[in-house]
Amino acid sequence: MNKKQKIQRKAQLILEYGSCCWWCGCNLPPEKLTLDHLKPSSRGGTNSLENLRLACSPCNSSRGNSLFPPKHRQILLSNLGNTVSQDQHASTFGI
């Protein structure tokens, strides 16, 4: 994705969701928000609007190629039993 495409996608996401981090909810000016892939590129995620959300730098960088930020991931893993799949937890968080 080139710089112009990133700017356009960020503007579209701000119109759709507001100028806040998808993960922690903090309101930030647009220049402080980053594009984050719900399904990471390294796991086959695309640059489509359906797979992109706005995130603050701490949330985005802390995720790595995980499907969740560490605080959500820790909660999910601590509650994860043999009867609930990771996909069911993912749908709870809108992924």
Q: Which two tokens stand for residue 2?
A: 């080139």
What is the distance between the alpha carbons of residues 11 and 92, in angstroms, rounded to a whole number?
26
Predicted TM-score of the model (pTM): 0.70
Residue 8: both structure tokens together: 């356009």
pLDDT digits (tens, 9 = 90+) for 29-73: 999 999 999 999 999 999 999 999 999 998 888 888 888 775 665
Domains, in order of start, for the chain: 3-92 (3.40.1800)
Q: How far apart are CA 59 and CA 50, in angstroms?
A: 19
Separation CA 84–CA 77 (nearest Å): 11
Whole-angstrom Cα distance, residue 59 to residue 45? 18
